[in-house]
């Protein structure tokens, strides 16, 4: 960690420090989510906060936005020390948050959404005139191009995001927190958003931009703070750093060692074969388009892709959780048309991407969670009856073998830390001798120790001949564990990479569909905030996002297409 330092030479640019976090520490039962975080953000800059999933970015933002109280440390806004006990306090201090998932009422107009909760007027009367004027002012001042009287349900994703931003500005925010704002946007919209951010910055608004997409961060941020394992490891300027260097800072250079990877692939033994698998979204769009792949015994097939490109749908389609067309075979058996339970019985283990939603019954004790997903299999049941003794004994075994840190098997799953919950899930999914394991983000949000243990468990199972489909947003994990990597983009498999030779940057480029391009970090133009030469995937289709397209039109999308 060469550049471990708080922001260099504070106050060198115009303005002072907008937000200063010192020694922020937040503990949750069994895990430390944040420890000793130091960040200072200068007024009128875009400050990016990068880190892997689970590194502690969102906890930190929740602390800054008053949703959680830090156990230790201080927060200063505009030089004054503050203590927030609710988002209301943060809003009063001029901090606004744009959530990743929009919080808009579809059946209301933009104006109604913006004023919701801060209605002008009094005595039950809504002063729409004043609100409309103010929205117009803000929209013009910051180049947001928001029209107050449109219904939110008619707006596209990019427009909704601008409404969210305007909503926050309307409440007087001078410091904006954007939580993974590009996750839901297509590349052109990303460009427009970045244009908006530059406009806001020019007007003196300070922006905290959370992301794990390095190319975007490098193109839009003035300063970048890297968080790893809950603590700040460096603050750097985009000009001084490459994407490769940032990636190293994010994972701490501890890339899983490739020498453990002597191949265990049993070439003659195909476990999973998929042919022409397609999934359509309710509106008829193909979210998974004609996927074909095979996984052999002892092979880990990694799927690399930006989230939302069909990985989740692929896993769900294989599990039978989502209607799909095409064939899925497990060994000699055709799974097409079987329901989830039968697929599990055929020998599929499933580590879901969201363990709280799909993996656990949080309020049920550990031993009941052991039964979950294996309700028809020994040792949990005998005939129609639950075999409590068998299930409890086997839970004890999992707790022991997978090092699940818990005082007992009668505590509810919610009492365990994320890493221990995940180890329980992995132990459970490995029992009953599965032949195929679908592992979606198996180490997301778990601490270092648990991560290493989970990796070891996956390696051991692979050596025993398990076939694994691995989905991960952590490219180093993908490269370190996989025997083969397939790249998924917009629901299609677009390329194959050899994990022995590929670098995270190459993979990153392929994931965004920019092929060949070797890493945005090497590009000297990046210091210049204008796009055009920005990273792969960001180069839109001819529209640069500055200014606002379509001045009159009812329909933004049309306007954008023509401009």
Partner 1 sequence: MRRFDLQRMGLGLAAPVLALVVALLLSSVALIISRNSPLTTFKSMLDYGVDPGTIVQTLNRSTTYYLSGLAVAIGFRMNLFNIGVDGQYRIAAFFAAVVGGWLVLPGPLLMIVVVLVAVVVGAIWAGIAAVLKATRGVSEVISTIMLNVIGGGIVAYLLDPGRLGTLIGSQQVSTRPMPADAYLPGIPLPGGDVYGFVVVAILCGAAYWVLLSRTRFGFDLRATGLSEPAAVASGVSVKRMVVRTMLLSGGVAGLVGMPLLLGESHAYASDFPAGYGFSGIAIALLGRNHPIGIAIGALLWSFLEQSAQILDLEGVPKEIVTIMQGVTVLSVVIAYELVRRFSLAQEQRRVGAELRAAAPAEEAS
Q: How far is the CB of 131 from partner 1 (least distance, A)?
A: 35
* Interatomic CA distance for residues 99 and 102, integer angstroms: 6
State yes or no: residue 70 binds partner 1 (CB under 8 A). Answer: no
| Closer residue to partner 1 in complex, CB, 17/421 | 421
Binding segment toward partner 1, per CB under 8 A, in 349-357, 471-479, 490-498, 508-516: 349-357
State yes or no: residue 364 binds partner 1 (CB under 8 A). Answer: yes
Q: Write the CB contacts of 493 (distance below 8 Å, at least 6 apart in sequence).
A: 291, 292, 293, 486, 487
Q: How far is the CB of 526 from partner 1 (least distance, A)?
A: 35
Are 48 and 224 a contacting pair, CB within 8 Å? yes
**Token pair 């023509």 in the structure block, residue:** 562
Are 360 and 369 a contacting pair, CB within 8 Å? yes
| Closer residue to partner 1 in complex, CB, 352/519 | 352
Which candidate, 255, 245, 305, places its Cα nearest to that of 50? 245
- Exactly one of 191, 192, 368, 505 binds partner 1 (CB under 8 A); that residue is 368
* Interatomic CA distance for residues 433 and 265, integer angstroms: 18
State yes or no: residue 352 binds partner 1 (CB under 8 A). Answer: yes
DSSP three-state, residue 455: helix
| Closer residue to partner 1 in complex, CB, 131/360 | 360
- Exactly one of 18, 32, 178, 475 binds partner 1 (CB under 8 A); that residue is 32
- Provide the token pair at 390: 């068998």
State yes or no: residue 44 binds partner 1 (CB under 8 A). Answer: no
Q: Are strands 436-440 and 348-351 parallel, antiparallel or unpaired?
A: parallel
Which candidate, 146, 54, 163, 8, places its Cα nearest to that of 99? 163
Q: Give me the 397-416 binding string for partner 1, x by CB under 8 A, dash otherwise.
A: --------xxxx--xx-xxx
Q: How far is the CB of 10 from partner 1 (least distance, A)?
A: 31
- Provide the token pair at 448: 């270092």
State yes or no: residue 346 binds partner 1 (CB under 8 A). Answer: no
State yes or no: residue 363 binds partner 1 (CB under 8 A). Answer: yes
- Exactly one of 3, 6, 22, 30 binds partner 1 (CB under 8 A); that residue is 30
| Closer residue to partner 1 in complex, CB, 35/196 | 35
| Closer residue to partner 1 in complex, CB, 30/120 | 30
Binding segment toward partner 1, per CB under 8 A, in 55-63, 383-391, 500-508, 535-543: 383-391
Assess whether the previous peptide bond of 379 is cis (omega < 30° from 0).
Answer: yes
- Provide the token pair at 200: 């806001």
Binding segment toward partner 1, per CB under 8 A, in 150-158, 172-180, 181-189, 370-378: 370-378
Q: Looking at 356-443, which runs of residues are DSSP E strands?
A: 381-382, 385-386, 436-440
State yes or no: residue 378 binds partner 1 (CB under 8 A). Answer: no
* Interatomic CA distance for residues 167 and 162, integer angstroms: 8
Binding residues among 417-476 for partner 1 as defined by CB under 8 A:
417, 448-449
Beta bridge mates, 433: none
Count of positions on this chain that bind partner 1 (CB under 8 A): 47
- Provide the token pair at 563: 């401009």
Burial class (CB in 10 A: 0-12, 13-18, 19+), 173: buried
- Exactly one of 117, 282, 323, 384 binds partner 1 (CB under 8 A); that residue is 384
| Closer residue to partner 1 in complex, CB, 364/530 | 364
* Interatomic CA distance for residues 492 and 276, integer angstroms: 11
For 89-119, give the DSSP string: HHHHTTEEEE-SS----TTSBHHHHHHTTS-
State yes or no: residue 339 binds partner 1 (CB under 8 A). Answer: yes
| Closer residue to partner 1 in complex, CB, 166/409 | 409
State yes or no: residue 107 binds partner 1 (CB under 8 A). Answer: no
| Closer residue to partner 1 in complex, CB, 296/370 | 370
Alpha helices in 278-365 (DSSP H): 311-319, 340-345
* Interatomic CA distance for residues 424 and 246, integer angstroms: 32
Binding residues among 271-330 for partner 1 as defined by CB under 8 A:
319, 321
Q: How far is the CB of 486 from partner 1 (least distance, A)?
A: 23
Q: How far is the CB of 233 from partner 1 (least distance, A)?
A: 15
By CB under 8 A, name the binding residues for partner 1: 28-30, 32, 319, 321, 339-344, 350, 352, 354, 357-364, 368, 371-376, 381, 384-386, 388, 405-408, 411-412, 414-417, 448-449
């Amino acid at each position: 960690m060469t550049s471990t330092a708080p922001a260099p030479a504070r106050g060198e640019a115009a303005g002072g420090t907008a937000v200063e976090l010192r020694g922020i520490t937040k503990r949750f039962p069994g895990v430390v989510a944040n420890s000793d975080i130091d960040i200072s953000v200068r007024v009128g800059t875009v400050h990016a906060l990068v880190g892997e999933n689970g590194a502690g970015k969102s906890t930190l933002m929740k602390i800054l936005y008053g949703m959680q109280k830090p156990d230790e440390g201080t927060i200063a806004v505009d030089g004054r020390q503050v203590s927030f006990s609710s988002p209301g306090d943060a809003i009063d201090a001029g901090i606004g948050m744009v959530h990743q998932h929009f919080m808009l009422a579809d059946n209301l107009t933009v104006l109604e959404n913006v004023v919701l909760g801060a209605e002008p007027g009094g005595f039950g009367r809504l002063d729409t005139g004043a609100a409309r004027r103010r929205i117009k002012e803000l929209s013009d001042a910051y180049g947001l191009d928001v029209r107050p009287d449109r219904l939110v349900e008619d707006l596209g994703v990019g427009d909704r995001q601008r409404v969210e931003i305007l909503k926050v500005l309307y409440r007087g925010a001078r410091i904006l927190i954007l939580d993974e704002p590009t996750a839901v946007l297509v590349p052109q919209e990303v460009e427009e958003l970045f244009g908006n951010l530059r406009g806001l910055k020019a007007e003196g608004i300070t922006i905290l931009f959370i992301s794990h997409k390095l190319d975007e961060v490098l193109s839009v941020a003035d300063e970048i703070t890297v968080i790893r394992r809950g603590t700040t490891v460096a603050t750097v300027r985009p000009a001084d750093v490459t994407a490769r260097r940032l990636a190293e800072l994010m994972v701490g250079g501890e890339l899983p060692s490739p020498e453990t990877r002597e191949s265990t692939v049993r070439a003659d033994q195909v476990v999973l074969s998929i042919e022409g698998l397609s999934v359509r979204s309710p509106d008829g769009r193909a979210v998974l388009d004609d996927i074909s792949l095979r996984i052999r015994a002892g092979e880990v097939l990694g799927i690399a892709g930006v989230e939302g490109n069909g990985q989740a749908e692929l896993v769900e389609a294989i599990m039978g959780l989502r209607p799909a067309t095409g064939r899925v075979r497990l060994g000699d058996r055709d799974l097409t048309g079987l329901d989830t339970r039968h697929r599990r019985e055929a020998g599929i283990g499933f580590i879901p991407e969201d363990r709280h939603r799909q993996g656990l019954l949080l309020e049920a004790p550990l031993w009941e969670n052991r039964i979950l997903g294996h309700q028809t299999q020994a040792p949990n049941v005998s005939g129609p009856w639950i075999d409590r003794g068998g299930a409890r004994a086997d839970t004890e075994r999992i707790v022991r073998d997978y090092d699940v840190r818990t005082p007992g098997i009668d505590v509810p799953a919610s009492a365990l830390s994320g890493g221990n919950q995940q180890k329980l899930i992995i132990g459970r999914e490995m029992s009953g001798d599965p032949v195929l394991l679908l592992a979606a983000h198996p180490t997301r949000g778990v601490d270092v120790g648990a991560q290493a243990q989970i990796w070891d468990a996956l390696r051991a199972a692979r050596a025993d001949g398990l076939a694994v489909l691995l989905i991960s947003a952590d490219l180093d994990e993908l490269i370190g564990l996989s025997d083969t990597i397939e790249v998924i983009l917009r629901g299609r498999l677009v390329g194959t990479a050899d994990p022995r030779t590929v670098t995270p940057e190459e993979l990153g480029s392929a994931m965004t569909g920019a092929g060949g391009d070797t890493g945005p970090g090497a590009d000297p133009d990046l210091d210049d905030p204008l796009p055009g030469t920005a990273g792969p995937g960001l180069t839109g289709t001819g529209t640069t996002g500055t200014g606002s397209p379509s001045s009159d039109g009812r329909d933004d999308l049309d306007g954008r297409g023509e401009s």
